[in-house]
Amino acid sequence: MAAARPGRVAVVIVLFSLKVAEGAAPAAAQTHEPREVGHELFVHSRFERYARAMQLLGRLDPYPWSIRGLAPGEVPCCGNGEEGHPWRDRITLRETDREGLVVRTVAGTGTLFFNSGFPYGDNDGPLWAGRGLSVSLRGGGHLRYGPLSITVAPNLFWSQNRDVAIAPTGHAGKLAFADPDWPRSIDLPQRFGDSSYARIDAGESTARLDLWGVTTGVSTAAQHWGPAVEHPLILGNNAGGFPHAFLGTSTPVSLWILSLHGRLVWGSLSESEYSPAEEGRTRRFMSGLVGVITPRGVPGLEIGGARFFHTPWPEGGPTARDFLKPLEAFLKEQLPETGEVDNRSDATNQLASIFARWLFPGSGFEVYGELAREDHSWNLRDFLVEPDHNSGYLVGFGKGWEVSGDRWVLLRGEVLNTRVTHLDLVRNQTRFYRHSRTVQGHTQRGQLLGSAAGYGGGAALLSAEVYHPDGQFGIKGFRSLRRQGIGSGDTRLVDVIYGIEGASTWFRGPLEVGAAVTGAYNLNRNFGSDAFNLGVQVEAAWAW
Q: Is the peptide bond before 140 cis (omega within 30 degrees of 0)?
A: no
The C-alpha torsion from 29 through 33 and 37 to 38, rounded to 10°, is 140
* pLDDT, the chain, mean: 86
Distance CA 371, CA 457 (A): 14
Flag the least confident range among 5-19, 194-208, 509-523: 5-19
Q: Which residue has the higher pLDDT, 192 or 5?
A: 192
3-state secondary structure (DSSP) of residue 13: helix
pLDDT of residue 543: 78
Tell me what pLDDT residue 62 has. Answer: 86
Q: Which helix (H) or strand (E) holds 247?
A: strand 244-249
Q: What is the pLDDT of residue 6?
A: 44
Nearest of 516, 445, 530 to residue 475 by alpha carbon:
516
Is pLDDT at 288 greater than 80 in this prediction? yes
Judge whether residue 492 has pLDDT over 50: yes
Side chain identity, residue 349: N
Q: How many domains does the chain have?
A: 1
Q: What pLDDT, on a 0 to 100 scale, did the predictor assign at position 339?
A: 45
Per-residue pLDDT reduced to its tens digit, 165-175:
999 999 999 99
Q: What CATH number should be reported for the domain holding residue 256?
A: 2.40.160.130
pLDDT at 364 over 50: yes
Average pLDDT over residues 137-148: 94
Count CB-CB contacts under 10 A for residue 2.
Answer: 5
Q: Which domain holds residue 533?
A: 2-542
Q: Hey, CA dihedral for 294, 300, 301, 306, is it positive or negative? A: positive
Mean pLDDT of 487-493: 58
- Indicate whether 489 pLDDT > 90: no
Q: Specify the pLDDT at position 4.
A: 40
Question: Is it the case that residue 92 has pLDDT exceeding 90?
Answer: no
User: For the residues 285-302, what does the mean pLDDT come to?
Assistant: 95
Q: Strands 407-417, 67-68: parallel, antiparallel or unpaired by DSSP?
A: unpaired
How would residue 209 be classed by pLDDT, with cut points 50, 70 and 90? very high
CB 467 within 8 A of CB 51: no
**pLDDT band for position 324 (cuts 50, 70, 90):** very high
Q: Residue 528, exposed/middle/buried by CB under 10 A (0-12, 13-18, 19+)?
A: exposed
| pLDDT value for 404 | 80
Beta strands in 129-239 (DSSP E): 132-145, 148-152, 155-159, 197-201, 206-211, 214-219, 224-225
pLDDT the model gives residue 60: 87
Query: Comparing 88-102, 141-155, 404-418, which segment has the lowest mean pLDDT?
Result: 88-102
Mean pLDDT to the nearest integer, 75-90: 71
Q: What angle do CA 66, 462, 10 make, to 5 degrees?
A: 105
The H or E element spanning position 484 is strand 471-484
pLDDT: is 338 or 459 the higher one?
459
Task: Please compute, for residue 379, the number of CA atoms within 13 A of its CA located in the half-sphere on the CB side.
Answer: 6
- pLDDT tens track for 374-424: 877 766 776 766 677 778 999 999 999 999 878 999 999 999 999 876 665
**What's the whole-model pTM score?**
0.89
6-46, pLDDT tens digit by residue? Answer: 445 444 444 444 443 344 334 433 445 788 888 999 999 99
Higher-pLDDT residue of 83, 155: 155
Predicted pLDDT of residue 378: 67
For the chain, give the number of residues: 544
Q: What is the pLDDT of residue 267?
A: 97
Q: What's the pLDDT tens digit per position in 247-276?
A: 999 999 999 999 999 999 999 999 999 998
Q: Identify the residue with better confidence: 436 or 297.
A: 297
pLDDT category at 65 given cuts 50, 70, 90 is: very high
Which residues share a beta bridge with 309?
A: 287, 350
Bond before 78 cis per omega within 30 degrees: yes
Tell me phi and psi for residue 459, to 5 degrees. Answer: -165, 165
Decide if pLDDT at 436 tops 80: no
d(CA 268, CA 284): 6
The pLDDT assigned to 22 comes to 42
Taking the alpha carbons at both ends of the chain, their separation in whole angstroms is 43
Answer whether residue 341 shows pLDDT above 70. no
Q: For residues 149 and 144, what is the distance between their CA atoms, to the nearest angstrom?
A: 4
